[in-house]
Amino acid sequence: MKLMGGNLLVRGLKGVILAVASIGLAVGYLSLTYSNPTPREITWEDVLTDARKGGYQVVTTEQLSKLRSEKDVLLVDTRQDWEYRRGHINGAVNFPIEPTWWSRWRKAGALEAALGPDKERIIVFY
């Protein structure tokens, strides 16, 4: 009888160790997967590099002001609705876009409709 009780104790202890190890592995995996690393500060050079990679041209406020006085420019404010309502450049239309490929893909048709048929028109996103 004594031997059987000891055997149950060993099996119970193995079960507890296995459960603790499983929980530890799960917590470790989740902490590595969902950790938020501190983002590095983005410099103006980073912005210019990303624009070149994407085939975009960066326009300063002075250049935009001059451009708007000379040509018909469509300004597209890509911030959320509530941000747009708090203030935007006069004449800008609001078209909120999340910075994910899924959002851009999902809204591609709506964006094309919002931009209109004029393929020669200058469009500035901000």
Q: How many CB atoms lie within 10 A of CB 54?
A: 8
| Rounded-to-integer distance, Cα 35 and Cα 119, Å | 43
Across 64-92, average pLDDT = 92
The one-letter amino acid at 107: K
Query: For the chain, what is the mean pLDDT?
Result: 84
Domains of the chain, residue spans: 1-37, 44-125
Residue environment code for 6-32, b if the CB has 16+ CB neighbours within 10 A, otherwise e: eeeeeeeeeeeeeeeeeeeeeeeeeee
Note the pTM of the prediction, 2 decimals. Answer: 0.58
44-125 under CATH 3.40.250, yes or no? yes
Q: Let me know: does 51 contact 58? Beta carbons within 8 Å.
A: yes
pLDDT per residue over 6-64, tens digit each? 566 667 778 788 888 889 888 888 777 776 667 788 899 998 999 899 888 899 899 99
Q: Could you tell me where the DSSP H helices lie in 34-100?
A: 44-54, 61-70, 81-86
Cα–Cα dist 64/123, whole Å: 11
